[in-house]
């Protein structure tokens, strides 16, 4: 299949003139596919992209974690490739996202490496990762991704069926074409006078889409902020905390699925009721670093099961996929890789406390 990417996608927007606010946009599946692909992007990639944009972003303290990996002593990692896997984690459904009309995370082409000693038991997507035999995997090979075959798959969309006229609200709720008159929808969103609205056309490219992704973490109106050039509030982070005086040591364990535990020693400020720092073993540090490889959709899935909520509206996009009728998505498989995405093949490790699975794609190398 040839490269079908484009430089821009055209969107038709209904704008409320008095408030200068986007009510909704109408688009075909090209743009909606790009929106849905946000859920498949690893957190480390989102942080890396955010560092280069004019709309700065801090997702809690994830930026600190990314920065620590970026500037850590090289001796911390078995090879430099281990650092690269955290700073530039690959997408678990990369082969699907290659067909997006706007490729917002387009990086270096996927490479595959075999053991230099010729054991051919494993392959790696990063050069010089150590094989089970202890030798570096630095022998590049040509591989192809096996395509899943299903009568429900079509060529006119990546995740969505080839349906024109999807409706996307300002807070990124994705809906099928309106079955009722536009006036009913306007009343629903609080616009009582249709004469105050006007249709506008926007051509969005990679820059606008990346800013939309970042803005969705901090704003409830990202379409208005990006298309109409409003300035969203840039940060999603808690206030900085100060080290307290008077402390005590405390040992705790995080109990997760299957009763697995990781023990850490905490230095706790009694007066501030806060943790100053933790002393932990390698397994706990591995868990923290693995957060950079976790896809956004999986983070949002776990947040739905807790009392956590986002300041922006990225969770609304996740709920849209959950609620969208099956007839609008290519298959249940496509829905599943959006609402429960997996790690890129090879990114998992034994006894991962989050219980995240690797993605499995059929791969064949040319010997």
pLDDT in tens, 236-256: 444 433 333 333 444 444 444
> Can you name the residues that pair with 152 across neighbouring β-strands?
none
Q: For residue range 80-119, list pLDDT tens digits in order.
A: 888 988 998 988 888 888 889 898 875 566 677 777 777 7
For 280-338, the three-class secondary structure string (H helix, E strand, C coil) is ECHHHHHHHHHHHHCEHHHHHHHHHCCCCCCCCCHHHHHHHHHHCCHHHECCHHHHHHH
Whether residue 347 is contained in a domain is answered as yes
pLDDT at 170 over 70: yes
Range of the domain at 297: 9-108+153-240+282-365
- Tell me the average pLDDT across 146-173: 70
Residue with structure tokens 């109409």?
A: 228
- Name the domain count of the chain: 1
Whether residue 340 is contained in a domain is answered as yes
* Lowest-confidence segment of 137-146, 219-228, 235-244 by average pLDDT: 235-244
Whether residue 356 is contained in a domain is answered as yes
pLDDT at 197: 86
Structure confidence at residue 180 as a pLDDT band (50, 70, 90): low
Burial label, 305 (beta-carbon count in 10 A; 0-12, 13-18, 19+): exposed
Whether residue 70 is contained in a domain is answered as yes
Q: Is 257 helix (H, G, I), strand (E, B) or coil?
A: helix
Whether residue 338 is contained in a domain is answered as yes
Identify which has the larger pLDDT, 103 or 203.
203
Reference 256, options 237, 274, 283, 233; nearest CA is 283
- Tell me the average pLDDT across 282-306: 86
Whether residue 59 is contained in a domain is answered as yes
pLDDT at 63: 87
Look up residue 157 and give its two tokens.
């969309």
pLDDT at 337 over 90: yes
pLDDT at 323 over 60: yes
- Starting at the edge strand found earlier in the chain, the sheet holding 9-16 runs 174-175, 166-169, 21-27, 9-16, 197-204
DSSP secondary structure code for residue 59 in this structure = B
Whether residue 259 is contained in a domain is answered as no
Mean residue pLDDT across the chain:
78
Per the CB < 8 A criterion, the answer to whether 86 and 44 are in contact is: yes
Q: For residue range 29-69, list pLDDT tens digits in order.
A: 999 999 999 999 999 999 998 887 755 566 778 888 999 99
pLDDT at 4: 62
- Tell me the average pLDDT across 195-202: 89
Whether residue 272 is contained in a domain is answered as no
- Tell me the average pLDDT across 181-191: 70
Q: Is 47 helix (H, G, I), strand (E, B) or coil?
A: helix
pLDDT at 365: 42
pLDDT at 27: 87
pLDDT at 326: 83
- Tell me the average pLDDT across 139-144: 68
């Amino acid at each position: 299949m040839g490269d079908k990417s484009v430089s821009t996608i055209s969107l038709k927007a209904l704008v409320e003139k008095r408030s200068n606010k986007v009510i909704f946009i109408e688009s075909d599946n090209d743009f909606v596919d790009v929106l849905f692909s946000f859920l498949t992007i690893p957190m480390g990639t989102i942080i890396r992209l955010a560092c280069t944009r004019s709309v700065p972003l801090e997702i809690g303290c994830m930026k600190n974690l990314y920065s620590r990996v970026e500037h850590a002593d090289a001796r911390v990692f078995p090879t430099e490739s281990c650092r690269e896997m955290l700073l530039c984690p690959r997408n678990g459904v990369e082969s699907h996202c290659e067909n997006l009309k706007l490729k917002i995370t387009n990086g270096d082409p996927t490479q595959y490496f075999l053991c230099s000693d010729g054991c051919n038991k494993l392959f790696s997507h990063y050069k010089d990762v150590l094989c089970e035999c202890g030798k570096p995997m630095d022998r590049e090979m040509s591989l192809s991704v096996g395509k899943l075959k299903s009568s429900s798959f079509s060529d006119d969309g990546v995740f969505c069926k080839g349906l024109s006229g999807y409706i996307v609200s300002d807070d990124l709720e994705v809906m099928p074409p309106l079955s009722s008159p536009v006036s009913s929808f306007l009343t629903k969103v609080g616009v009582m006078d249709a004469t105050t609205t006007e249709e506008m056309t926007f051509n969005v490219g990679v820059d606008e889409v990346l800013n939309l992704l970042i803005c969705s973490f901090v704003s409830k109106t990202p379409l208005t902020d990006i298309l109409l050039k409003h300035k969203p509030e840039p940060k999603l982070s808690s206030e900085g905390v100060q080290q307290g005086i008077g402390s005590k040591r405390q040992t705790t364990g995080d109990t997760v699925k299957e009763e697995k535990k990781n023990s850490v020693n905490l230095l706790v400020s009694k007066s501030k009721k806060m943790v100053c720092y933790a002393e932990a073993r390698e397994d706990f540090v591995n868990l923290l670093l693995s957060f950079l490889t976790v896809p956004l959709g999986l983070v949002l899935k776990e947040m739905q099961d807790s009392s956590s909520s986002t300041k922006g509206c990225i969770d609304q996009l996740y709920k849209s996929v959950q609620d969208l009728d099956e007839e609008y998505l290519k298959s249940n498989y496509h829905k599943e890789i959006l609402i429960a995405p997996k790690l890129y093949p090879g990114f998992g490790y034994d006894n991962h406390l989050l219980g995240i699975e690797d993605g499995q794609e059929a791969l064949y190398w040319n010997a």
